[in-house]
Copies of this chain bind each other. A is one copy, B any other.
């Protein structure tokens, strides 16, 4: 297997200006792995409760996602997130979070996954990210994080940052983490904490890369209609890591191309709720939109 993600598989309740959906398939590992599956073999480490339905598992199976690291824990319920998007839909307002099965969960990486070359630690408690790091020997290890951990577990998060090769985080998180207001300064300060590759997500404004070899920026793929932004960041990361794992490279040139693939992949994800639009597309659609995106950004 080329790529491993450790993260959540969840039930989501999502409200956007385009409607309300309850109990739909969500979670960081779900969006990440589905996005990455267009590019490479991918496996999940995580946990769901006994209420997790077979047809949701079959969604993952349909893409060949290896879920032998996804534990189903009897007597517990699946992680459940409720949120809504208003206005420009750039940020979700979290209405409710029920940890359920994740309360007290420690990730356990199956023996067969431990040598996976590309590993992504989706947003999660730094202690759990560290517990995962202890179990893997990847070539390229990338993490995500969020404001909650920056505010409540900064020292442990810094330990994580000292042990990863890269981080994919959003603009506000990079600024909060570093106290810098300027994008470049914030990215440089993040890199100084450990990760040599820093990718900053800027929502509808695209993304920014800082690494030893240089800097790079691309706009977002322009969409007339965003139905549900949930999973945009994770499917972007899935496209980035999926492409890198597919070609087995982490060069500057390939990181740039990977970000363009991540951008395009995420653009499909937000065109419907949950994975509904992902289920309709193929790698060909991604490659076609990638071609449009090249034209859209070249001068």
Contact = CB atoms under 8 A, between A and B. Distances in A.
Interface of A: 87-88, 181-185, 202, 204-206, 208, 214-219, 222-226, 253, 256-257, 259-260, 294-299
B216 A299 contact: yes
5 contacts: A205-B205, A205-B206, A256-B298, A294-B299, A297-B299
A211 to B, nearest CB: 13
A219 B222 contact: no
A208 B182 contact: no
Contact of A183 (B183, B214, B222): B222
A183 B208 CA distance: 20
A176 to B, nearest CB: 14
How many copies of this chain? 2
B296 A297 contact: no
A214 B88 contact: no
A208 B88 CA distance: 18
B217 A296 contact: yes
Q: Give 7 closest A-B pairs by Cβ, nearest first.
A: A256-B299, A217-B219, A205-B205, A184-B224, A184-B222, A257-B299, A260-B299
B295 A214 contact: yes
Given A219-B219, A222-B215, A299 B185 contact: no
Contacts of A208: 219, 222
A296 B219 contact: no
Contacts of A204: 183
A222 B217 contact: yes
A204 B202 CA distance: 11
Contact of A202 (B182, B185, B205): B205
Given A202-B205, A219-B219, A182 B224 contact: yes
A299 B218 contact: yes
Contacts of A256: 298-299
A225 B183 CA distance: 10
